[in-house]
A and B are shown apart, each in its own frame.
Chain A
Amino acid sequence: KAGVTQTPRYLIKTRGQQVTLSCSPISGHRSVSWYQQTPGQGLQFLFEYFSETQRNKGNFPGRFSGRQFSNSRSEMNVSTLELGDSALYLCASCPAGNTGELFFGEGSRLTVL
């Protein structure tokens, strides 16, 4: 079956802009988690959605938000972009809770200039 699909794969934005990233989980997976990966901080948990509800949230400012649709597809949005938001954003899906095996997408690499 198809894996986790993230779009776009690469994007460049400037400070102050906003960005929306999309994630389509594996069919049948209801949990979608988002992570930010940077060389300095590693993989940092952003949030997890399950059945259209945010179930867990990491320690990121309110500029980072997300949502999940009824078909389990998820989007995350970052507003008022800062240089430090440059990172690889990874989406992971899981059949139920997010403490089982996570299936990751290839990520969306965001560069903020």
Chain B
Amino acid sequence: TQLLEQSPQFLSIQEGENLTVYCNSSSVFSSLQWYRQEPGEGPVLLVTVVTGGEVKKLKRLTFQFGDARKDSSLHITAAQPGDTGLYLCAGNYNTDKLIFGTGTRLQVFP
């Protein structure tokens, strides 16, 4: 059973545009992670958020954890071709294992 839904599923934008990716669940998570996966590679961790309402910034990427710890968002400002990849959220809940979201495939064209 997939507990984490991500939207949109696909996103194609031009360089310089802004975008937001969403990760939603009906369950409360104790923490949530965002990963990026590039073709031919495994996912790489971008950030971990733990506290409801928490906001973290990583250069042009802004991550937010919902107040109720059931949702999260990733906002990219002035996207670049190097941001292209599959973005995955992953939640940790009480079974001591990470559940991954459905993924958002981002393509940024120069």
Contacts and interface: CB of A to CB of B under 8 A. Distances in A.
B43 interface: yes
Interface size grouping (class) on chain B: 20 to 34
Given A102-B33, A105-B42, 17 more contacts: A33-B97, A42-B100, A44-B100, A45-B99, A45-B100, A48-B97, A56-B95, A56-B97, A59-B1, A90-B43, A99-B98, A101-B48, A102-B35, A102-B43, A103-B45, A107-B41, A107-B42
A45 B90 CA distance: 11
A68 B99 CA distance: 22
Nearest to B43: A104
A103 B43 CA distance: 8
A95 interface: no
Interface string B82-103: 0000001010100111111111
Interface in A1-41: 4, 33, 35, 41
Contact of B44 (A55, A59, A104): A104
Nearest to A56: B97
